[in-house]
Amino acid sequence: MAEVGGNVKLWSIIAMVMWLGGFHINFIVGILCLVHLPSPWAITILAIWVTLMFLPAEYDTPMGSKVARFIVTHAKNYFPIKVIFEDESAFDPNQSYVIAAEPHSVLPIGIVVLTPQSGILPVNNLRALASSAVFWSPVVRHIWTWLGVAPVSRKSFTAFLQKGISCIVVPGGVQECLFMEDHREVVFLKQRYGFVRIAMEAGSPLVPTFCFEKRLQMVEAHWQMVQSTFSSYWLYAPCVLG
C-alpha cells in the first residue's frame, strides 16, 4: 500500500497548473487572439502557438525529465490518494503489463500516482496512452509527453508491449465522462474489448485498476452537453476542475 497527497502547498498548485492548465491557457490565448485580429501581436502569437503544435516532443529528455519529476512530485499532493495492491509481489519487473485504469471521469487524474516518475508501480518501463487529439494542443503535448504519455493507437500500443514497456490505458475513454452521475461511479466498457485483445496477443497480463471517488470531480449536469459535442467532433472533452 502507498499513500500520497493531502499536503497542498503553493508548489502543488503550480504543478497542477502546469499539468492541466495548458488546455485553459490555449483556450484563453485563442479567444484573445481571434478577438484582436488582424492586430500584428495577435497574428504573431497565433503563429507561435501553431508552431508549438508541430515542434517535436520527446520523452525522457534532460529538461523534460526535470519538469515531469516536479509535476508528479507536487501534483500528487493536491489530491490525497491511497494506492492498494492486492498482491504487489505478483509483478515481474521484466514483464510488460496493461494497466486498465477506470473510471475516466472528467479527467483520469488518479493515474498521476501510476506515472513512471512516481515510482509506485513495481515495473521497469511504463507509459500512459491518451487520445491523439491531446497531442495537437500546444504546450500540453510537450508537458504530457515528458510525463510519459503517448498517443493511443493499436500500432503504438502493441509496439510498447512488444518492447517490454507496460501501458496505462483508460478503456472508457472520453465518452465515459458523458455518463457520469453524482451519486455513483460509472464505467463505459460495453464493446471496449480492444485493449484485452491486444494484451492477449502481446502476452501481457491485464491489471484492472479502479480509482474511487473520482465522481467528485464532476460539475453540473448541463456541462455534459458541452462535453458531448466536443468529444463527438474532437475526440476529447473540455473540463472544469474545482
In a domain, 240, yes or no: no
pLDDT at residue 217, rounded to an integer: 52
Residues 83, 1: contact at Cβ < 8 Å?
A: yes
pLDDT at residue 216, rounded to an integer: 53
Q: Is the pLDDT of residue 82 over 50?
A: yes
In a domain, 17, yes or no: yes
The three cell numbers locating residue 131: 487520445
Mean pLDDT confidence for 222-229: 46
Mean pLDDT confidence for 91-103: 89
Split into its structural domains, the chain has a count of 1
Of 130, 122, 169, the C-alpha closest to 149 is 130
Q: State the pLDDT confidence band at 234, using cuts at 50, 70 and 90.
A: very low
pLDDT at residue 240, rounded to an integer: 45
Taking phi first (over 0 means left), then psi (-120 to 50 degrees means alpha), and beta for anything else, what does residue 141 get? Answer: alpha
Percent pLDDT > 90 in the chain is: 32
Mean pLDDT confidence for 202-222: 71
In a domain, 159, yes or no: yes
In a domain, 41, yes or no: yes
**Residue that wins the pLDDT comparison between 76 and 171:** 171
Distance in angstroms (rounded) separating the CA atoms of residues 42 and 39? 5
* Burial (Cβ within 10 Å: 0-12, 13-18, ≥19) of residue 137: buried
Mean pLDDT confidence for 213-229: 49
In a domain, 242, yes or no: no
Which domain covers residue 78, as residue numbers? 2-234
Stated pTM of the model? 0.80
In a domain, 239, yes or no: no
In a domain, 241, yes or no: no
